[in-house]
């Protein structure tokens, strides 16, 4: 989801020398393209916020992971694939989850299988039109909400392409991932983010389990929705520790940058809000008080004064 903040591009810790990088200019956005391992094509868009589309040139299909903000983005990506000689097989599309920035280009694949988790289908069906109205300005080309047409609950395998899709709840309940066994590339959607993932639900135990699953798979490369390519497991390890420790509020933020503190503050405050909705006053208070501590320890800018005041009001209301 991108409701509460703008995704930011982050630089991976210690990526080895970058593969060939071609920059393609367009009037609408800016696209970076790079080859990944033996059969991967990574397209990174920087406008309106950094987002990846990943394409795997399988033996039987061209597997297109996430479709970003609309038909124009997909057309541009397909054009580049064509130039690279990747156009001789049918496409199979995958939506990592049903947030608008991951499926708005689906309409460009009307003749293809569009794979998603069962609950992504339901989310697009019920929330798709509303999100299109709400984020109308973000669309690239005229978006026609297009539902996935091949659904799974736990796992779906393309044996000939050596690709596996699996449910990995975290960032959202419907979040799913794609594992390329040949290149050992794991595509995780928004389950991993830099510096920390964005928490939307009280499903942290489940999220932790999904990240444990990622560790077990032991990927060589990780592609996320909104950060640069990860050629090591640092982001996975850091996000895992974060998701694990925030459940008991065991996070020492003293050495965090101001931006990290702000992301952490939003997460802690959000968890407080979720407990409040659930009627768990003690937990809500515990998280709101921690959020207040964090904001008191951040730069004294007007926005933070406002955040602090709103939080104090919230805490008072609980009593």
What x/- string results for residues 259 through 298 when contact with Zn ion is judged by CB under 5 A?
A: ----------------------------------------
What x/- string results for residues 243 through 262 when contact with Zn ion is judged by CB under 5 A?
A: --------------------
CA distances 24 to 8, 52, 118, 209, 303, Å, are: 20, 14, 35, 38, 37
Residues whose CB is less than 8 angstroms from the CB of residue 290 and which lie 6 or more positions away in sequence, other chains included:
249, 268, 272
CA distance 44 to 49: 10
Measured from the CB of residue 311, what is the shortest distance to Zn ion in angstroms?
26
Q: In this structure, what DSSP letter does residue 230 have?
A: B
Q: Are 229 and 12 in contact (CB under 8 A)?
A: yes
117's tokens: 């988790």
Measured from the CB of residue 223, what is the shortest distance to Zn ion in angstroms?
13
User: What is the residue-wise DSSP string for 107-157?
Assistant: GGGTTSEEEEEHHHHHHHHHHHHHHHHHTGGG-SS-------SEEESSEEE
Measured from the CB of residue 225, what is the shortest distance to Zn ion in angstroms?
4
CA atoms within 13 A on the CB side of 307: 23
User: What three-state secondary structure class fits 51?
Assistant: strand
Nearer to Zn ion among residue 52 and residue 57 (C-beta): 52
Nearer to Zn ion among residue 101 and residue 180 (C-beta): 101
Nearer to Zn ion among residue 76 and residue 101 (C-beta): 101
Closest CA to 169 of 118, 245, 93: 118
Measured from the CB of residue 217, what is the shortest distance to Zn ion in angstroms?
21
Measured from the CB of residue 139, what is the shortest distance to Zn ion in angstroms?
15
Nearer to Zn ion among residue 225 and residue 272 (C-beta): 225
Measured from the CB of residue 99, what is the shortest distance to Zn ion in angstroms?
5
Nearer to Zn ion among residue 128 and residue 225 (C-beta): 225
What x/- string results for residues 206 through 245 when contact with Zn ion is judged by CB under 5 A?
A: -------------------x--------------------
Residue from 183, 190, 193, 290 touching Zn ion (CB under 5 A): that is 190
CA distance 154 to 232: 26
Strand partners, 64: 55, 93
Closest CA to 284 of 241, 317, 244: 317
Q: Which residues inside 100-159 make contact with Zn ion, applying CB under 5 A?
A: 101
> Which span (17-25, 127-135, 185-193, 261-269) binds Zn ion, by CB under 5 A?
185-193
The dihedrals phi and psi of 52, each to the nearest 5 degrees, come to -105, 145
Residue 76 binds to Zn ion (criterion: CB under 5 A)? no
Strand partners, 93: 64, 114
Nearer to Zn ion among residue 58 and residue 128 (C-beta): 128
- Binding residues for Zn ion, rule CB under 5 A, total 3
Nearer to Zn ion among residue 101 and residue 161 (C-beta): 101
Nearer to Zn ion among residue 4 and residue 317 (C-beta): 4
Measured from the CB of residue 317, what is the shortest distance to Zn ion in angstroms?
32
> Which span (9-17, 133-141, 184-192, 203-211) binds Zn ion, by CB under 5 A?
184-192
Residues that bind Zn ion (CB under 5 A): 101, 190, 225
């Amino acid at each position: 989801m991108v409701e509460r903040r703008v995704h930011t591009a982050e630089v991976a810790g210690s990526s080895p020398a970058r593969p060939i990088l071609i920059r393609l200019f367009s009037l609408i956005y800016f696209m970076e393209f790079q080859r990944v391992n033996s059969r991967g094509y990574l397209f990174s868009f920087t406008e309106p916020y950094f987002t990846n589309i990943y394409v795997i040139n399988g033996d039987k299909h061209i597997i297109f992971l996430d479709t970003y903000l609309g038909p124009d983005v997909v057309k541009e990506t397909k054009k580049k694939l064509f130039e690279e000689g990747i156009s001789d097989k049918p496409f199979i599309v995958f939506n990592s989850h049903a947030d608008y920035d991951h499926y708005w280009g689906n309409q460009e694949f009307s003749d293809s299988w569009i794979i998603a988790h069962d609950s992504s289908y339901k989310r697009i069906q019920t929330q798709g039109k509303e999100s299109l109205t709400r984020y109308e300005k973000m669309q690239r080309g005229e978006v026609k909400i297009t539902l996935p047409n091949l659904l799974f609950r736990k796992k779906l395998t393309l044996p000939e392409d050596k690709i596996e899709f699996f449910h990995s709840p975290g960032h959202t309940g419907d979040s799913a991932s794609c594992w390329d066994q040949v290149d050992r590339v794991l595509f995780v959607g928004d389950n991993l983010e830099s510096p920390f993932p964005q928490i939307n639900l009280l499903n942290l135990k489940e999220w932790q389990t999904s990240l444990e699953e990622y560790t077990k798979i032991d990927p060589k490369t990780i592609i996320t929705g909104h950060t640069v390519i990860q050629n090591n497991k640092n982001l996975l390890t850091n996000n895992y520790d974060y998701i694990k420790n925030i459940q008991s509020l065991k996070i020492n933020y003293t050495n965090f940058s101001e931006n990290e503190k702000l992301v952490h503050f939003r997460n802690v405050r959000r968890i407080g809000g979720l407990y409040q909705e659930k009627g768990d006053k003690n937990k809500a208070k515990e998280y709101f008080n921690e959020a207040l501590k964090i904001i008191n320890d951040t730069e004294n800018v007007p926005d933070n004064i406002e955040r602090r005041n709103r939080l104090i009001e919230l805490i008072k209301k609980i009593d």
